[in-house]
Structure 1
Amino acid sequence: MTSSASRVVSLTNRCADSKSPYVRSHASNPTAWQLWSPETLALAKQTNRLLFVSIGYSACHWCHVMAHESFADPRIAQLLNEHFIPVKIDREERPDIDRQYMDFLQATSGGGGWPLNVFVTPELEPVFGGTYWPGPGSERARMGTGFEQILVKLAEVWKEQEGRVRENGKRIIEQLREFAQEGNLREKGQTEATDELDLDLLDESYVYWKGRFDSIYGGFSAAPKFPTPTHMAHLLRLGSYAPEVREVVGEEECVQARAMAVLTLERMWKGGIKDQLGHGFARYSVTKDWSLPHFEKMLYDNAQLLPLYLDAWLATKADSFLEAAHDVAKYMTTEPMLSSLGGINASEDADSYSTPIDKHKTEGAYYVWTMDEFKAILSEQEVEICSKYWDVRPDGNIDPRFDAQGELVGQNTLCVKYEIPDLAKETGLGEDQVKRMIQDGRQKLLAHREKNRPRPALDDKIVTAWNGLAIGGLARAGAALSTPSYISAAEKAVTCIQQHLFDSTTNTLRRVYREGPGETPGFADDYAFLISGLIDLYEATFNDAWLSFADTLQQAQLRQFWDAEKHAFFSTPANQPDILIRAKDGMDNAEPSTNGVSASNLFRLASLLNDDSYATRAKQTVATFEVEIGQHPGLFSGMMGGVVAAKCGVKGITVVGDGPAVQALLRAWKASLTPGYTLSRVGDGEGSAWLRGRNELLKDLDGRREMVQVCEGGVCRLLGVQDVEGLFV
């Protein structure tokens, strides 16, 4: 086979051709970045070079560090351009490629993260990978292996041992394929899904999270600490399932599960991970006490935290959780996150300039403060109160161990360290006076920040899946909190997707919109998350146009991603040429699992539409992951609702009429945690014509009478409105 050294090609940087802000940010690099395209993959084969695939995203801090240290360095660029085909990918546009090579990295190194850098053969088989590697001249490179040494070694190995490298790559891919298929029912000799999984799995899931729980700071790991919204949502709702679930798990255990989630949400709300002056939450905390965030703000995190804090408020009626739900909703529905098209933008960067005249961005510059700044902006008494309240210290409150680049020396993250009554008692002031000083101080600091500090860069991509998560959260919050503007924002986001990311001739979605719809088709999660959001929006508005759209998308998802032989949903469409492994997403990570959300969607649609085929697919989806769930129930929180639905069923409640009793029932629904139920509404004043045509159980209901119809498994009974009081608790 011809060596890569004999194939000479002149490359030029192609990043300016991309619509991705992340990829475009590398357009000035001397590295001759190529885009992931059929032409680039063909070029790798023609030149017989390894591809160096670098995957990141716009808000990623360490992506910026590596770009500055390495990709802008002439020596590194020379090595990449002469010996490799360097390719830059936005992981938010191509999560399938990211997933494929992240699985490789985690399987071979036990870790992962971004930037994700991997060397792959011209046949796309991975041979070596890592995350951040130190660039030339950095202190970390002098202390160990730097990126330059890795490039020299890989070029040498490919030149001298190409056959062995290719053989290793093929073996790795085969192992990853086998791993992706583990637990499949077909592997166990079963061709049909079992009827239902055992409810004991919910107890085992609770035990798993109890064993990981940090009883002091909340959360379920040491540093770094992530919010894990899907897992906390499961713990919050555990006590709201059917009585047979609570009997299996235990009433005391259900109470403790909720308490773990509540404590975690309280600590997050008071921590540096929360923007204490503005709105929204950062990606995660690098410290176990939530004090020092990794400052990027992602839509998919905030979109999941909104319904989570809403659930916490519904469960506890604590004012702080109500405030938190409004805070996150406002973050997503105001500039800069709200797009002029009605969709919601992807993220804000971790790095920014400290002042408008700075030439170098630093991490957290928009959010951190010095004591001198407090003294310059606030009154003397406000400094005393606000510095205590937010733990602002003269020498800074950031532990140097977590400041790898020395950018945060003397700086403070704002974390709530005092309760108002305790602070009032310590300072000898009244509680109202202390509260007013904190409010005034917040406004002064926020005004200073907005006037004097450049806001972090915005990634203004509209990602279909993430907008789906946001639509669901906004719809539920708008209904429960009687805030029509949130529902309106959700409806506008759907309209944006329909106009710019949905092809009505094929009923298919696109993944991303920026300067026009992207070329990448929607993935299974784009369909799943949007369908879920549409169902929530229907139950908030009872406009069956949203339910009709969900039904259309559900059929499209089944058509493109359903595994007819072994069941459940693949993440990617069939016959995709640049994907080596067609995987199924079952475990929850930063985003909920596609199959967990899909199973929930199918159960809910089956109930709302009286469609047995959807219920069958839902049960098959959950059962496909039976082995993995049984082995690691704590990692499949998103599937637990499906486990319950398969065992206990889903009750479909249809409300008819518009009198005071009906309105009271609807208010009770909106103010409760209601797993195991769906709600529809028909009547003269409701947009229910499509629904009544789709669900034959509803076609004969008289919209002029007040009544409630409860259906389960195709069997219905009519009740008076008063007969279902207390159903929603």
Structure 2
Amino acid sequence: MARVLAVFLALLFTLSAQGSVSNQLKDHPSPYLALHGNDPVHWQAWGAEVLERARRENKLIFIASGYFACHWCHVMQRESYQDPEIARFLNTHFIPVKVDRELQPTLDAHLINFVEKTRGSAGWPLNVFLTPEGYPLVGLTYAPPKPFMGLLEKLETRWAERADDLKEAARLASLAMKEERVDAKPLASIDAEGLHVGLVTMALALGDEMEGGLGMQPRFPMAPQWSALIDRLSHGRDEKLAELISLTLDQMAKQGLRDHIGGGFFRYTVDPSWQVPHYEKMLYTQALLSQLYLKAAHAFGRSEYKEVARDTLDFALRELKQDNGGFIASLSAVDEDDEEGGGYLWRDAQLKQALSGQELQFARKRWRLEGTSPTEGGYLPVDHQSVSSLSKAQGADLSQLEITVKRKLLKARESRKHPQDTKQLAAWNGLMLLALVDGAREFGDARYRKSASDLRDFLVNRLWNGERLFRARDGKRNLGSAAMEDYVYVAAGLHAWSRLSGSKADYHLSRTLVKQAWDRYFTADGWQSTDESLVPGIASEQAMTDGPLPSPAAMLIELSFSFEDKALVSKAKQALTLSYPVVQDQPIWYASHIQALMKNPL
């Protein structure tokens, strides 16, 4: 009897173990994770149980972090994660974990920092091997199947031979990086004018006088930096800076970063001339750039910038807004046929099928749909010859023809869809609420005000439970724990809405979220972007950089000055003082901190 019981228990344990290592991602509420639900890799969702199992089995954790709209994430899935041999090796020797970076922004940022420090650059897909204790050991981005398999085999061999040495090396490296990030000492006073001058000086040093933008390739919009630099113009006109800003905004609006047929902006271009985009369309890009172009329209007195903003908002309402009032995260870079940018590119046969002779002739000149295309897969429309110049050349007003041609092209490409990441992120929807409020104020358009009201209801009724925020929602399910950016961006959106609508309830909820953000994420040593970290080595930051999104710390500081609350103002001043040494050293990467100081001098 005892022998039978032992066999039964052993069988039960085996079945349980097998169940625990199967692919957990099928039908996951995150569209990105669900994409990997049929991979032969036994993907696990990130959580405390991953670390527990890693320690129990003494295996390295393999974290593959990416997002739905990422082209190269799809490529690596197809080449490596769906390869049976690579999958078998991963399943046997590692604990594979798939992470949606948009649901785990703090973990992803921590791993990005590690790969940047160890390899010089980072991006997505992001692949990092962690020790069972959670310390990063080796990281890389995209790798073709053969080199990737070679790395797996080398790591497995070294881990089998020297696991304890590798654990200690990873721990010491993580501690060194943590100390490196917190060694600046806060100063008692701030030279605000010096920060402003430093910001402009660094922008002009990095600025491309021929093509616009900062630095070399690839070209990102960098909306937080340009927004702060536009604000700087109001403190003293600098013609060289004004020329760089307007050149950059013109390039972003006229070249390949923007969808000239359907509206909206792509995430970035791979070249310094703004010609060839990566074709993902992100919600936050539309929110930030519509606000940026409205601000620039007033700063430069250029009505065409207003139309760029309106076009961008209209795209978001048409393509990203859902029936529940919230907005989805993104449109994929690849279309349903797995072609990058397939929904935006045009071959001659497609153009001839969609347009008549005169229409085709106009479209070719208006959007450079002829000659040699700089993009693979067909022509990408850009703003080549203006309607006014074409009208002058032909001696006729062609503005109505442009509307007709654009409508026909948009209709013709409807069937070439780019899949949607349907999760609705609190932070990005908070930014969209800010953009819609700006649009409603600027244009007096009832659509924008109604959409802002609907979005307010979504945030308050779906993502706020009366005590805390959720990170995201997909369908009828809430996803993940909110991070600092969720609290701050949603608070900013609700605060702007309360000023437009006069809602005292939303004003008070905004202040509640601001207070929670301070309580959850600010300490005497600086900022933590999450209060639920599972891995060691994430240091407090004296200041949070501006990335594609504005620094949530800087936005929280600026927002706190908006309330008649002495405690919040005191914390904001404390945080500005703490951040000063870091901001002073690299002002362009902390432009939102300087922007907050411009508006609220100490």
For normalisation by structure 2, the TM-score amounts to 0.93
CA shift in 2, pair 1:516/1:194, >3 Å: farther
Instruction: Please list every run of 5 or more consecutive structure 2 residues that lacks an aligned counterpart in the other structure.
Output: 1-13
Matched, 1:397 2:351: no
- Give me the whole-angstrom Cα distance separating, in 1, the residues matched to 2:411 and 2:297: 29
Q: What residue number does 1:183 align with?
A: 184
Counterparts of 1:333-352 in structure 2, within 5 Å, are 333-334=317-318, 336-352=319-335
Aligned residues: 585
Q: What residue number does 1:129 align with?
A: 139
CA shift in 2, pair 1:431/1:288, >3 Å: farther
Matched, 1:84 2:131: no
Partner SS for 1:181: coil
Q: What residue number does 1:634 align with?
A: 588
**AA in 1 matched with 2:395:** G
- Give me the whole-angstrom Cα distance separating, in 2, the residues matched to 1:126 and 1:312: 42
CA shift in 2, pair 1:197/1:570, >3 Å: farther
- Shift in Å, 1:580: 3.6
Q: Which has the larger radius of gyration?
A: 1
Deviates most, 291-300 or 36-45: 36-45
Match of 1:444 among 400, 405, 408: 408
Deviations 1:366-406 (A, max 9, x none): 00011232222212222222112211125x4125xxxxxxx
Partner SS for 2:95: strand
> Which structure carries more relative contact order (alpha carbon 8 Å, separation 6+)?
2
Identity of aligned residues (%): 29
Contact 2:70 2:280 in 1 (8 A): yes
Matched, 1:416 2:383: yes
- Shift in Å, 1:517: 4.5
**AA in 2 matched with 1:239:** L
Match of 1:485 among 414, 437, 447: 447
CA shift in 2, pair 1:42/1:292, >3 Å: same
Partner SS for 1:43: helix
Partner SS for 1:520: strand
**AA in 2 matched with 1:278:** G
Match of 2:45 among 23, 35, 59: 35
Matched, 1:211 2:211: no
Match of 1:227 among 221, 235, 238: 221
Partner SS for 1:465: helix
Q: What residue number does 1:261 align with?
A: 245
- Give me the whole-angstrom Cα distance separating, in 1, the residues matched to 2:113 and 2:476: 31
Contact 1:572 1:582 in 2 (8 A): no
Partner SS for 1:324: helix
- Shift in Å, 1:281: 0.6
Contact 1:237 1:258 in 2 (8 A): no
Match of 1:586 among 544, 549, 552: 544
- Shift in Å, 1:582: 4.3
Matched, 1:602 2:560: yes
Deviates most, 68-77 or 611-620: 611-620
Match of 1:99 among 91, 106, 109: 109
CA shift in 2, pair 1:198/1:534, >3 Å: same
Deviations 1:591-636 (A, max 9, x none): 111111111111122xxx2x22121111111111111111111211
Q: What residue number does 1:316 align with?
A: 300
**AA in 1 matched with 2:386:** E
Contact 1:50 1:119 in 2 (8 A): yes
Q: What residue number does 1:429 align with?
A: 394
- Give me the whole-angstrom Cα distance separating, in 2, the residues matched to 1:56 and 1:298: 14
Counterparts of 1:275-314 in structure 2, within 5 Å, are 275-314=259-298
Deviations 1:528-557 (A, max 9, x none): 111111222223233222211111111211
Contact 1:298 1:348 in 2 (8 A): yes
Contact 1:619 1:642 in 2 (8 A): no
Q: What residue number does 2:428 align with?
A: 466
Q: What residue number does 1:21 align with?
A: 31
- Give me the whole-angstrom Cα distance separating, in 2, the residues matched to 1:222 and 1:577: 36
Match of 2:457 among 488, 492, 495: 495
Q: What residue number does 1:328 align with?
A: 312
Matched, 1:71 2:29: no
Contact 2:492 2:559 in 1 (8 A): yes
- Give me the whole-angstrom Cα distance separating, in 2, the residues matched to 1:89 and 1:431: 56
Q: What residue number does 1:706 align with?
A: none
Deviates most, 282-291 or 413-422: 413-422
CA shift in 2, pair 1:579/1:486, >3 Å: farther
- Give me the whole-angstrom Cα distance separating, in 2, the residues matched to 1:197 and 1:613: 24
CA shift in 2, pair 1:579/1:94, >3 Å: farther
**AA in 2 matched with 1:583:** S
- Shift in Å, 1:440: 1.9
**AA in 1 matched with 2:301:** K
Partner SS for 1:415: coil
- Shift in Å, 1:160: 1.1
- Shift in Å, 1:519: 5.0
- Shift in Å, 1:324: 0.9
- Give me the whole-angstrom Cα distance separating, in 2, the residues matched to 1:582 and 1:555: 22
For normalisation by structure 1, the TM-score amounts to 0.77
- Give me the whole-angstrom Cα distance separating, in 2, the residues matched to 1:236 and 1:35: 42
Partner SS for 1:604: coil
Contact 1:307 1:473 in 2 (8 A): yes
CA shift in 2, pair 1:171/1:431, >3 Å: farther
Partner SS for 1:87: strand
- Give me the whole-angstrom Cα distance separating, in 2, the residues matched to 1:479 and 1:179: 45
**AA in 2 matched with 1:319:** S
- Give me the whole-angstrom Cα distance separating, in 1, the residues matched to 2:395 and 2:579: 57
- Shift in Å, 1:293: 0.9
Deviations 1:442-466 (A, max 9, x none): 111111111x32x111111111111
**AA in 1 matched with 2:211:** Y
Contact 1:571 1:582 in 2 (8 A): no
Counterparts of 1:527-676 in structure 2, within 5 Å, are 527-563=487-523, 565-566=524-525, 568-573=526-531, 576-578=533-535, 580-584=537-541, 586-605=544-563, 609=564, 611-647=565-601
CA shift in 2, pair 1:368/1:322, >3 Å: same
Match of 1:361 among 324, 329, 338: 338
**AA in 1 matched with 2:561:** F
Contact 2:555 2:592 in 1 (8 A): yes
Kindly indicate which of the two structures has a greater share of residues assigned to helix: 2
- Give me the whole-angstrom Cα distance separating, in 1, the residues matched to 2:373 and 2:154: 42
Contact 2:212 2:251 in 1 (8 A): yes
- Give me the whole-angstrom Cα distance separating, in 2, the residues matched to 1:123 and 1:431: 72
Contact 2:29 2:479 in 1 (8 A): no
Q: What residue number does 1:164 align with?
A: 165
- Give me the whole-angstrom Cα distance separating, in 1, the residues matched to 2:194 and 2:502: 35
- Give me the whole-angstrom Cα distance separating, in 1, the residues matched to 2:600 and 2:321: 38
- Give me the whole-angstrom Cα distance separating, in 2, the residues matched to 1:534 and 1:579: 34
- Shift in Å, 1:643: 2.2
- Give me the whole-angstrom Cα distance separating, in 2, the residues matched to 1:517 and 1:196: 46
Deviates most, 121-130 or 623-632: 623-632
Deviates most, 109-118 or 266-275: 266-275
Contact 1:199 1:643 in 2 (8 A): no
Contact 1:197 1:647 in 2 (8 A): no
Partner SS for 1:417: coil
Contact 2:557 2:572 in 1 (8 A): yes
- Give me the whole-angstrom Cα distance separating, in 1, the residues matched to 2:169 and 2:76: 27
Contact 1:60 1:114 in 2 (8 A): yes
Contact 1:387 1:393 in 2 (8 A): yes
Contact 1:500 1:516 in 2 (8 A): no
Q: What residue number does 1:723 align with?
A: none
Contact 1:18 1:35 in 2 (8 A): no
- Give me the whole-angstrom Cα distance separating, in 2, the residues matched to 1:430 and 1:209: 43
